[in-house]
Amino acid sequence: MHYHKNTNRLTVELQGNFNLDVVRKIENLPLEQKDLYIDLEQSRFVDTEAIIFLHKLIQNQQVIRLKNPPKLFFEALRILGLHKVWDLKNIVER
């Protein structure tokens, strides 16, 4: 995982799947930035712990952007019913 930050945005580039280990690493980063941008281009899987983490941030009004999430991510959101709750048009970037 690589990251960099500027005044308004923390950008995280994942080198593998988005799972609990990655969530813990992101939680240890300074999140004083307004936006969290996560590049999931190298990820094949996003587990439920990562989805819960994102959901909590969204509920706390954190601006989230996800670049190229894997297809399984959308399937998990559908199963969890979050595809109707999250504003995916403003969250997902292709």
Q: At what angle do helices 71-80 and 48-59 cross, to 10 degrees?
A: 70
Contact 93, 66 (CB under 8 A): yes
Report pLDDT digits (tens) over 26-44: 999 877 767 999 999 999 9
* Segment holding 57, helix H or strand E: helix 48-59
Q: Where are the domains of the chain?
A: 2-93
**pLDDT value, residue 54:** 97
Query: What CA–CA distance (Å, rounded) separates 17 from 70?
Result: 10
Q: What is the pTM of this model?
A: 0.92
Report pLDDT digits (tens) over 35-92: 999 999 999 999 999 999 999 999 999 999 999 999 999 999 999 999 999 999 999 9
Amino acid sitting at position 38: I
Contacting residues for 13 by C-beta, under 8 A, at least 6 apart: 1, 2, 3, 39, 42
Q: Considering the domain 2-93 in this protein, what is its CATH number?
A: 3.30.750.24
